[in-house]
Amino acid sequence: MIQRQKGCNDIYGREAKVWKYVDTIIDAMMEKYNYNYIRTPIFEATELFHRGVGETTDIVTKESYDFMDKGGRNITLRPEGTAGVVRSYIENKMYGDPNQPVKVYYNGTMYRYERPQSGRDRELTQFGMEILGSDDPMSDAEVISLAVNIYKMLGLKEIKVNINSLGDTDSRNAYRDALIKYFKPHIKDFCEDCQVRLEKNPLRILDCKVDQENEILKNAPKTLDYLNEESRNRFEKVQEYLDIMQIKYEIDPNIVRGLDYYNHTVFEIEAKVEGFGSNNVLGGGGRYNGLVNQLGGPETPCVGFACGIGRLVMALELEKVELPIVEDIDLFLMYVNDEEKKYAAYLAQELRLAGFIVDTEYTGRGLKGQFKQADRLKAKFTCVLNSEDLDNNEVKVKNNRTKEEEIISLDVLIYYLDEQINTMVHEDFDECDCGCHHDDSDCGCQNDGECKCHDRSGE
């Protein structure tokens, strides 16, 4: 038997519905913030990631899937989304669009050759957003707020935002020199990778997974101590906008992020979920003002964020968030003979096009087996097609909750089902204090009298 590759997963059944629901919430929130969807290729020229992500990052040195195609070109399966978006921004001359800044988001598959572990796979799905063309500190705060609001919309309650600043080029260079001076006398106490990083990019030492418990590492200089006045003022403005947006955060001077292209604001968002493990970071991002120019485009300030959906789904499961996943169908059509079967095919088509979730029998089961199948599918209604009823332009419809049956004219079947199903939906939810229909225990309204239910549901 051929099996899936290590670090890859089959996602199906209810889990697949959870993933699709997460996608729906992401799409809805991105629309509210006026971000446009962008789709870039799964593989790109290897040079894009070596120049963009950075030669000293683990993603490039250890984790990228590199190969040579039949044309002799060096190709890499994308390990992250930002570099491809920037390449597209330059190639398609989006910087010339009068509608600035360019705000885009992506949701797609990435590949990293790393040791598979809980929430970290070799094939992963990642969503992210980028603002290209704005250096305003408010855009930093917007990206953070958008990420936080997606998590809150999905139902995660214990969200923690950690922010830091790497400063501008001068500040970062000053900090780099300080790190080299600090680590040089002790570098033999670190892993081989860190010894190589010392001169190439000492910030990577701070991000080392092997030496993270090293006391020397814990006492290393902090970025905030090396910010010049301009960088410090900019970081304070980001905090001011986060305060205005009522986004709670903590300053964590240890955050440097794992990619070479960051400057100024960097941030990570954690999920404080029991059982999530010591590495409880859901996603992160920051500002990368030099990347567009580095890849051959004009000087363009940018800021972005990315999150792995696999880890997000895991957090939702661990926090036992109840998502409104549709696990039933509206109607199951049953039949006995070939003529009724043909009509089932026709009627299913009409009802589906009218917006109903409809299924029917495909395996040759008898009526008893069809009733069991309808129960397995949690059908709200069943309809046994009967030749005599059909001759009278009628069908018998059974409400599987009340067990009541009615003979319904085919001319009004769509209206009948629509009315009945809407009634069921309202019966499923109590009316909360604000007058909205949903489970009061899950009410998103606040004590100030302002209704938050529709915001919370994405409507």
**pLDDT per residue as tens digits for the range 239-275:** 999 999 999 999 998 888 656 678 899 999 998 887 7
- For position 258, what pLDDT does the model report? 58
pTM metric for this prediction: 0.85
Percent of the chain with pLDDT over 90: 65
Q: Are 146 and 33 in contact (CB under 8 A)?
A: yes
Better pLDDT: 135 or 189: 135
- Specify the pLDDT at position 1: 94
Map out the domains of the chain as residue ranges.
Answer: 13-168+228-318, 329-428, 435-459
* pLDDT over 80 at 302, yes or no: yes
How far apart are the C-alpha atoms of 314 and 185, rounded to whole Å?
42
Query: Average pLDDT over the chain, rounded to whole?
Result: 87
Please say whether the dihedral angle defined by the alpha carbons of residues 25, 29, 32 and 37, taken in this order, is positive or negative.
Answer: negative
Lowest mean pLDDT among 73-77, 230-234, 254-258, 340-344: 254-258
How much is the average pLDDT of 421-433? Answer: 69
Superfamily of domain 329-428: Anticodon-binding domain (3.40.50.800)
As a whole number of angstroms, the distance between CA 33 and CA 128 comes to 13
Cα-based angle 324, 326, 331 (whole degrees, multiple of 5): 145
Confidence of residue 80 (pLDDT cuts 50, 70, 90): very high
Counting Cα atoms < 13 Å in the Cβ hemisphere of 151 gives 30
Reply yes or no on whether the pLDDT at 452 is more than 90: no
pLDDT level of residue 198 (50, 70, 90 thresholds): confident
- What share of the chain in percent tops pLDDT 70? 87
Phi, psi of 157 (to 5 degrees): -105, -35
CATH class of 13-168+228-318: alpha beta
pLDDT band at 341 (very low <50, low <70, confident <90, very high): very high
